[in-house]
Structure 1
């Protein structure tokens, strides 16, 4: 699916990003809460125009790490560079599409009004807003429910609207915290096809957290997080070979992710 009105801006965006080997560079990052070390000093490079999966059990630090990358949380030590800019940087807000683990929606508004609100925040013209809203709603299969109050949405519909909001401003980087939780298998497949298209055709960099191993298999590279540390990193095939495992589920158990 291509949007003709954005082809020129996409080309310019891709040319700027292509010069950066790593879209996200994390160096010696750490974070503690009430003396508990949630993220131990870690360093990770996330390449441009790739889908990078961050895996780990609940409580391992995935969401904390994501929030620091987005600039919502300040690390205790270390630094993060996104698209060549040190986080936090207000100019990055329009470059990152962020989908949080918990839905931050205006439930008294309709789905369309939510999308309109966020599109206006990014200064889109009326015609551009219509194109982006139609595109995002179609991707998450909410086109027929846009004029319904979000209060009446199911949990899965709210997740889909949150993903649409992350896509609305055509960002260079998508950061998605467990985006397919509560979404039916058919729609999940459709969303993953679009993520792969966004990477291949529009040069997006996508960072996604997940518990689901079949989704992890679709990532170009994955990092396995346990108790605030990256304990394995590489392509799905490389990690399985490293741990002499037939599946990522088996690797997950071997590194202690199954307890």
Structure 2
């Protein structure tokens, strides 16, 4: 399996499919690059080089005790892009990966990144504070951490339901998708999964959004129960200079079904434009 050295030498797994202009994907918590497989194949089939890595402590990457924070995640992404000698890169991030992509582009991407795409992403900041009174209370994230510690196997099964909107009236449950979420979650190390909660909830990416000088597509489902659109995309679009907001009616946090198909079409159109 292909590995690269992260910013501190950690051994991190990546996929590299197809050839052509590079598009680099960052996944959400607690998943792995496998969450992007459909999009990776779509891009590779359409003449792009599609690349995705497993974040440190997730998937097949090294289970690190340190570095489970947004600055290191972005530095790891820089190590991947630099190590592969990529230029004119499009970076795509879902959820936590959206924060990673934005911080990477703002702090490491000058001269390398030509476009950014976020999907159901965490920027600008999730947790409630004096400067973000509409945010999610810290107690919610404390509960997530407690569930990860107590019985993360059961928690992944339960979390998959709101993640994909399967708890909504009339939703058709895909047990296979729930099982795949659980499987990816179980490949995340305990410490990295626990520490990542702080990374995705408390990292303030406001200045990173303001610093972007390339086009950004901000995609978000309006029934996202994990990263509510009013706390994220609706605020992020006001902070960027060259942003396009794409709202998907009824779409969940997890990318699947008709949402996935439309997102794929929009992704191709934005990258090609």
TM normalised by structure 1 equals 0.27
Larger-gyration structure (1/2): 1
More strand by share: 1
